Structure 1
């Protein structure tokens, strides 16, 4: 098999993207547009890394389940009768029909096509009219079950059963998030699945980018968090599974609404210094967090093509927030402001994707305020290069 796009020159060129920020340049544009590269990325990233699929509270009780879809893989996350949370494929092992959609409560998963029935742990419980099939044994046709880990209340799955645990490689990120008590924060499950016609990395980079804040978002809804007050860590370990940036604010307890100030209860464990900044934390390739002193916006990005992805977007607050009689009105006010900012970002993301298809698309240089982009690159590029080297040694037989 020949690979006109994938070659040593491409991966050698990526090495400039992990230089110090003042020397680095962005990834080659084809990494955001090319179908062949997306297939490679499914092997290099999505088949090996921990992927966020939701919050643990979305399946809090036995029988609760929710479904997801990422990098062409339909998934079920279900709480078994034994109380254990499991992640498994939603693909029936008979004829590939999906055995579950949406979310809800179930005693079992019944394939609507031929009524093969699976227990909540993925084991095949019933396969009607299969008694005449030679050498058919139910135990050989269970739903594939994946590795699962909970981090800060978020559910992560991994298709690689031998993957290194996630949490030990997120200690630095967890330290920065400690005051938010994220695992105990509460919020409704998103009811709308968002779908966008641009590469998942375009959106991930925009979420990480402090450089554009004082330009694209200038005005009363964002001016309290200026780009020049962005700060980037320099002590993340080489094996980190995530990264973050912080941004000082012009006044404490700043928030994205017309008042510029927190309207929900403050996360009580935040220090005085932490109340004077925001945190933007990221666990690629799927989870991005925007953290203010009274609320947390999370985005779960789910790639589904070279130039498209889906997003689950939600808001978390303290447990006490909902006891406020004006909770819904305050949330609506905050959502109105956040929506105006998000709409600006979405328009830029769409236009960037168009630009990346151009023959004139550059490998741009970074401002110091784009330090998070370089951190993203240092996560991506070694994984790309490592997979490419392995594929070469195996003569492409696994690609």
Structure 2
């Protein structure tokens, strides 16, 4: 644990995390307790639950999660594990009046309360009130739904002041976009994905060419953020206003209407670890919801957001295809690198590398991770003390 301190030194002095943090099974189990048991986890968009009775399911670190909108309009999140024999009470997404476990027909309301348990009248001491679906904290930030397994965790939004300010003019809560398709599954650690998503150093090396050269690495900036920040970001200046990832290098979709000229002359890469990563351009936002499921793998829900009304354009699908063709080419390069980085991290020769100034976001990510690792280490030792 002491060796992690060198990863949070100033960027010009810092070194990367030990390779075992990305490959070791026991460290992953430790990390689940240090990070995923206590931090706010993005699970989807509020727009997915517009009407009462709508729900969706997801999993993070192997925990099945059910998110619903009740008849009272309140968003709720809970375990989707039936409290009888462990069957899941819901799959996928849709709209229901209640959740009926298909195994033995225990029935739960939209609020997770057990309302019916057939043939349990002879069971001694059985109390329906104590068999509700375990509930989680819920918070919405910029239209994204977050849950927290820790019912005592402090609110998310007060610790996102800097990130909220830099994305404010995108008005993400009002942005529109199609629901993501089936999740992707990748054979590398979730942190590898986060590091790549906010790495200014590789942009004009790996992505050299007409689809990315207008976002030069030397125009990356890494702001100083509060120590208790729940997220971080970098900005990257562009060589012309309204730059976008397509063959024209210019926005083809409607601009986010509140962007000023400064906002239209840069891109923003924002991360809310351990689950949400954003790439914000003047006409499109790509969001990635990362869902760790092992020490060397994770699921990814990838979606896009556009300005209100943009989807009503009869040519929307054609214009979006222009953006996504270029984005897909760039993403394919990233995915190839991520997989090879994971392979390299398994090697006995894997280094703790030094950082370029253009990797300032990696050091900020370390500054988010290390205090949480340290806190869990201290909790474990306190529990072991006589």
Question: Normalized against structure 1, the TM-score is what?
Answer: 0.96
Distance 1:60 1:284 in 2: 26
What is the match of residue 343 of structure 1? 332
Q: 2:358 aligns with which of 369, 381, 388?
A: 369
Paired position in structure 2 for 1:5: none
> Structure 1, residues 152-171: CA drift from partner, whole Å, max 9, x if none?
00000001111111000001
C-alpha distance in 1, partners of 2:181/2:100? 24
Query: Following the alignment from structure 1 to structure 2, what is the Cα–Cα distance between the partners of residues 187 and 361?
Result: 40
The answer to whether 1:21 aligns with 2:11 is yes
The secondary structure found in structure 1 opposite 2:291 is strand
Tell whether 2:382 aligns with 1:393.
Answer: yes
Match status 1:333 vs 2:357: no
1:97 to 87, 91, 99: 87
Determine if the alignment matches structure 1 residue 57 to structure 2 residue 57. no
Distance 1:296 1:161 in 2: 31
2:292 corresponds in structure 1 to: 303
Deviation (angstroms), 1:227: 0.6
Q: Does the residue aligned with 2:270 lie in a helix, a strand or coil? A: strand
Partner of 2:131: 141
* Structure 1 counterpart of 2:146, from 146, 156, 170: 156
Q: Aligned partners of 1:378, 1:270: CA distance in 2, in Å?
A: 30
2:347 corresponds in structure 1 to: 358
Match of 1:45 in 2: 35
Corresponding position of 1:258? 247
| 4+ residue segments displaced more than 4 Å | none
Aligned residue runs from structure 1 range 230-309, under 5 A = 230-234=220-224, 236-309=225-298
Provide the secondary structure at the position in 1 that maps to 2:261: coil
Quote the residue 1:73 is aligned against.
Answer: 63
C-alpha distance in structure 1 between counterparts of 2:341 and 2:101, whole Å: 41
Query: Aligned partners of 2:354, 2:91: CA distance in 1, in Å?
Result: 44
CA distances 1:178-207 after superposition (whole Å, capped 9, x unpaired): 110111001111121111111000001100
**Cα distance between partner residues in 2 of 1:296 and 1:39:** 33
User: Which residue is 2:101 aligned to?
Assistant: 111
Deviations 1:75-123 (A, max 9, x none): 0000001110000000000011111110010111111111111100000
Secondary structure in 1 matching 2:191? helix
What is the aligned length? Answer: 386
Q: Distance in 1 between matches of 2:52 and 2:314?
A: 31
Question: Aligned-pair RMSD on alpha carbons?
Answer: 0.9
Cα distance in 1, alignment partners of residues 280 and 69 from structure 2: 29
- CA drift at 1:396: 8.4
Tell me by how many angstroms 1:323 deviates. 2.0
Structure 2 counterpart of 1:323: 312
- Can you give the 5+ residue segments of structure 2 that lack an aligned partner in the other structure? none
Aligned pair partner of 2:214 in 224, 235, 240: 224
SS in 2 for 1:372: helix
TM-score normalized with structure 2 length = 0.99
Distance of 1:294 and 1:333 partners within structure 2: 12
Q: 1:137 deviation in Å?
A: 1.0
Partner of 1:130: 120
